[in-house]
């Protein structure tokens, strides 16, 4: 079996654009991949086309290690965010083709069934005025939907520092959410990597009594020494890694004990081939993975397959029940969170879904732009203003 062509489709929402990749083979099989590229969709589409023509078309989709090596080494330059995202979409589609060719779900090829269901946590649910009363009511709706975990960024458009009033407001929001959902529901606090160490420490210490599941990217991801200060100043677990795209860049985070939960994104980390290597390394240090996931149905399905087969997987992020629920229409069988907050195990060959080109055409590109420092992460009536 050989790959003979590549096709890309971009679907737009009010706050994100999703890029779908289809690899077409000489045997008539079509493999699917997906990525959400923040603010660089044009660049991603161009990169996918260039890399596919150079390394994927004419190749055997089973040769994923070779594809990953060629993309990262034959081009000589260091593989960054766009390259690794393009590779991830191609790799995802190759694994889908392998599963279809062997008539097996991808999770069987990744190591088989480790768990019987995949825990999910909700994101994209907090829309409306940024106040404690509104967020508490919305959090209650999340748990009524069945989720036993949810994530929230209560900090608006704050950058670097928080005023005393904004700090109090943010803590008040988390307090109200905790009271609304009770002690048995996990709350993940998103900081989006935008605070100084002093601010992150101060906020974390005020939230410790609320027992967050983790604080996420409390400081910018490129400065481990700053993260080390936060690490030593709070007992709350630290999650990070969504903006780390190469395995070597996790070295200091892992070996210096700066992270409790690794959040590398399957669609930005070279796909299954890259993330399974990272999972093995993390296991040596008894670390869990909670992959960052802002994808639609295809990327979410890929994450579910990874989770089924990965022993040190923790929980999967999911936006699509609250932000853009119509995304389920883009495929023939979208992943769904059950009434008890889990994804069921896929049973169809490959990733188990097909793209509906007509449904995609109904949602053309929006050229949505994410600006956290200008808009914050708030949901309004027409959809999110922005988000990551």
User: Is 292 an annotated catalytic residue?
Assistant: yes
Helix 81-102 × helix 271-284 angle, to 10°: 100
Cα distance between residue 329 and residue 323, in whole Å:
14
The token pair that represents 256 in the structure block: 């210096």
Measured CA distances, 296 to 323, 333, 360 (Å): 10, 12, 12
Helix (H) or strand (E) holding 46: helix 41-51
Question: Which 8-state DSSP code applies to residue 331?
Answer: B
The DSSP secondary structure of 48-93, one letter per residue, reads: HHHHIIIIITTS-TT-HHHHHHIIIIIT-SPP-HHHHHHHHHHHHH
- Cα angle for residues 244, 96, 77 (degrees, 5° grid): 35
Per annotation, catalytic residue among 232, 245, 268, 292 = 292
Give the residue from 309, 313, 317, 298 showing the smallest Cα distance to 356: 298
Give the residue numbers annotated as catalytic, written as ranges. Answer: 192, 292
């Amino acid at each position: 079996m050989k790959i003979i062509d590549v096709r890309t489709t971009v679907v737009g929402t009010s706050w994100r654009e999703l890029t779908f990749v289809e690899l077409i083979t000489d045997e008539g099989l079509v493999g699917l991949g997906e990525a959400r590229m923040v603010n660089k969709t044009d660049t991603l589409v161009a990169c996918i086309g260039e890399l596919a023509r150079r390394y994927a078309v004419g190749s055997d989709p089973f040769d994923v290690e070779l594809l990953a090596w060629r993309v990262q080494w034959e081009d000589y330059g260091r593989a960054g965010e766009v390259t690794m995202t393009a590779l991830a979409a191609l790799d995802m589609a190759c694994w889908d083709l392998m599963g279809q060719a062997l008539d097996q779900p991808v999770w069987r090829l990744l190591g088989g069934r480790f768990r019987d269901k995949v825990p999910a946590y909700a994101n994209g649910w907090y829309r409306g005025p940024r106040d404690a009363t509104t967020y508490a009511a919305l959090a209650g709706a999340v748990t009524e939907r069945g989720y036993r975990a949810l994530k929230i960024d209560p900090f608006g458009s704050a950058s670097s520092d928080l005023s005393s009033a904004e700090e109090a407001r943010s803590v008040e929001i988390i307090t109200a959410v905790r009271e609304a959902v009770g002690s048995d529901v996990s709350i993940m606090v998103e900081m989006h990597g935008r605070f100084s160490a002093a601010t992150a420490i101060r906020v974390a210490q005020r939230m410790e009594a609320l027992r967050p599941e983790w604080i996420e990217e409390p400081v910018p991801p490129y400065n481990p020494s700053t993260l080390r200060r936060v690490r030593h100043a709070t007992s709350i677990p630290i999650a990070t890694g969504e903006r780390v795209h190469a395995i070597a860049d996790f070295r200091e985070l892992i070996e210096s004990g700066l992270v409790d939960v690794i959040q590398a994104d399957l669609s930005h980390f070279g796909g299954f081939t890259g993330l399974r290597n990272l999972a093995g390394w993390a296991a040596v240090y008894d670390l869990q993975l909670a992959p960052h996931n802002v994808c639609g149905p295809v990327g979410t399905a890929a994450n579910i397959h990874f989770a089924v087969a990965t022993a040190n997987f923790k929980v999967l992020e999911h936006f699509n029940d609250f932000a853009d629920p119509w995304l389920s229409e883009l495929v023939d069988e979208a992943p769904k969170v059950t009434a008890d907050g889990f994804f069921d195990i896929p049973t169809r060959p490959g990733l188990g879904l097909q793209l509906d080109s007509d449904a995609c055409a109904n949602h053309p590109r929006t050229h949505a732009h994410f600006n956290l420092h200008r808009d914050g992460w708030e949901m309004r009536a027409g959809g999110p203003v922005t988000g990551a």
